[in-house]
Structure formats: structure tokens, C-alpha cells
Structure 1
Amino acid sequence: MPATPFTIDDLKSILREGAGADEGVDLDGDILDAEFDALGYESLAMLETAGRIEREYGISLDEEIFADARTPRALIALVNEQLPAAQAV
């Protein structure tokens, strides 16, 4: 389990590995406040993303709270909120 904070680069890697990248979206651009659906990631892709994050970081993401994290910035904050709890165990 990683001991460092979850970053935008971590998220981009998971998005690309799990669901790929829409041809019209530049994940290397400023995407922190773009909504996932505008980036081409629909609910199924986001479920895959959540599963990968949970496995790789040893955390559990509440489905309702995860669904409310509609931008990369919100999802990164959510994951980082869960990391200290997982690392303390």
C-alpha cells in the first residue's frame, strides 16, 4: 500500500489503465476541475476506477460519496481522506 498521498498523476494512470482515454480528451491538460463525464468517463468507467483505487491503495470508498466526487480534484481529496485511516490499521 502506498505511503504517499494520492495525486493527479496516480489518478491519470488508473484512468488510462482501467478505462483508457477518450480521443478528444487530453488528460495531460488541466483537468482537475473538469467533470468526469466531460472527460469521457461514464459510470461504468468510474466503477472500474473506484475498484482499482480500492485495490491499489487498500481503502474502501463509500459508493454515495464516490458518486458525488464528479471531478478529479474531488476524487483525489476523497481518496486522500481515506488513506490515513487505511495506513493506521
Structure 2
Amino acid sequence: MAQQMQLEDLTTVLRECAGESEHADLSERALDVSFTDLGYDSVAVLETTARVEREYGIALDDEAVSGAETLRAYLALVNEALAAVRAA
């Protein structure tokens, strides 16, 4: 199991699940830009979440996912879940 999800991992999954938005610069400059401003809607985030949960063996709270509006917040949420699994 992965120790931590990196930005590159998230952008790969996001692009594979939702395609590449013409507005999306998914580099480190985009860490604090909302998914909406990057061109991704809530369905794209839900599809990404389903795949992340399956591939990383974690469960993410739906409300927390809805509140993670940026790449940085989403990565923090995933990495907190990964840390909790490792600690268990």
C-alpha cells in the first residue's frame, strides 16, 4: 500500500477518470485552485474518489470529500486516511 499520495498520483487518476480539462493546469501552481476553476465538477471528483478508494484501500467520508475543494485539500484528506490505515 502506498505510504502517501503525491500530486502526480492524484493528477493521473483525475485525468484518467474525468479527462483533461482544457483549463486544467494540474501542476503545483494549481494546488490551491478549486476543482471547479480547474474545470472539474463534482461528478469528476466522485469518480476520482471511487478509484482512489479502490486503489489505495481506504474509505473517504463523503462530506469530507465534498469539503475538499482544492487539490491540496483532497491530497490532505487522502493522506490522512492512509495514515489512519497504517496506524490501525
The verdict on a shared fold, with TM-score over 0.5 as the criterion, is yes
Gaps of 5+ in 2: none
Normalising to structure 2: TM-score of the pair? 0.91
Aligned residues: 88
Task: Provide the secondary structure at the position in 2 that maps to 1:61.
Answer: coil
2: distance between equivalents of 1:23 and 1:38?
11
2: distance between equivalents of 1:68 and 1:77?
12
- Residues 38-74 of structure 1: CA distance to partner in whole angstroms, max 9, x if unpaired? 1111011111011011011100000001100000000
Closer/same/farther in 2, CA of residues 29 and 23 from structure 1, 3 Å limit: farther
2: distance between equivalents of 1:13 and 1:64?
23
Q: Displacement, 1:24?
A: 2.6
Supply the AA of the counterpart residue of 1:20. G
Runs of 4+ in 1 over 6 A off after TM superposition: none
2: distance between equivalents of 1:25 and 1:70?
14
Contact persistence 2:7–2:28 (CA under 8 A): no
Contact persistence 1:32–1:72 (CA under 8 A): yes
Gaps of 5+ in 1: none
Task: Provide the secondary structure at the position in 2 that maps to 1:55.
Answer: helix
Normalising to structure 1: TM-score of the pair? 0.90
